[in-house]
Structure 1
């Protein structure tokens, strides 16, 4: 279990990268903006890629009735997510240490991975719900009121993943370094479970 325990510790510790690097990135590209406007989404808040990107995005959104980019105090997720990630990282490191000293078996690593996967899916669903609300809950007093061919208000929801045309903008939504570190950490915990299961009586 020593090798698998070490892998579990390393994999869990990689989650701490989310406290440093952004989880996701959304960019708005248009002819009038040679350099795309972008915002990096961290587990504790949203920051512009450049100094005035958030201000410019809020200015554009104002005309079509979209809400301003939320500040950390305005979304419970930015208070809860750091606690969840920190807790899961700490729990994973503890399990890895216990596995290293053969106090527990590798199935505990698999249990951690399943829990982390469920939490990750719930987090992505919550993120998608926020994008939907952000792009569809428009101010009826907005300066510009654009509708589709049937007279329904247009949706300005950015894609959860990929690129999408929104008016004269193209929105790009992709994971950033924090997400890749999280995925790498989860993969390592899967390897840790596999190594532990394949070792003779869990002794490697």
Structure 2
């Protein structure tokens, strides 16, 4: 299969390099604001642990019957770092290999990871916000507390926000770069065969 251009190889190399940030920066964040917490409460999700105001959030959520948030709720912490590491390694291989199939495969890997994370976050949020304790101190009939997947949402007197953190934005940038390299190679300008220049032949008179 045809080799990709040097520019595309550099783009893929940069995309793989950016993904290394996932090991050193938070990938996702969930924030809550309320009159009693005007400064906001924040939970950050990293590649293998949680940080932020988790104890305070658990204390607040206890009254409405939500589950205790703990790292044991996220089995992904045990294997996500290996999945991302494998994708990074393949990205460097794709930059070295310089084959079109490897550029396409690298983008598909990142896109699949991103889609998988979003689906996983939605399912976690649904379970967390709907499966409430029947013995909760505060009960609002028909009310669920599923946090937004991306963006803002009002939950009782709280305003909740969910979205990518530093590492998540950098991972998204990696996907865009990988997609750019793939598109450059797949949709690059190709001169139609019938418009190719023909050699000039002088006919004898």
TM-score by length of 1: 0.84
Q: CA RMSD in A?
A: 1.7
Hey, what does 1:64 align to over in structure 2? Answer: 64
Q: Residue 188 of structure 1 aligns to a residue in which SS?
A: helix
The DSSP-based 3-state class of the residue aligned with 2:15 is: helix
Within 5 Å, give how 1:100-139 maps onto structure 2: 105-139=99-133
Structure 2 Cα separation of the partners of residues 123 and 190 of structure 1:
18
CA contact (8 A) 1:106 1:192 kept: no
From 2, 24, 45, the counterpart of 1:20: 24
- The runs of at least 4 consecutive aligned structure 1 residues that moved more than 3 Å come to 194-200
Matched, 1:180 2:166: no
Shift of 1:199: 8.7
- Name 2:202's counterpart in structure 1: none
Which structure's CA Rg is the greater one? 2
Asked if 2 retains the 8 angstrom alpha-carbon contact of 1:12 and 1:186, the reply is no
Distance in 1, matches of 2:183 and 2:127, equals: 41
Deviations 1:27-74 (Å, cap 9, x if unpaired)?
1100111210011111212211xxxx1111010011111111121x44
CA contact (8 A) 1:6 1:97 kept: no
Higher RCO, 1 vs 2 (CA within 8 Å, ≥6 residues apart): 1
**Rounded Cα–Cα distance in structure 2 between residues aligned with 1:165 and 1:90:** 41
For normalisation by structure 2, the TM-score amounts to 0.84
Query: Which SS does the other structure have where 1:128 is aligned?
Result: helix
Q: Give the length in aligned residue pairs.
A: 185
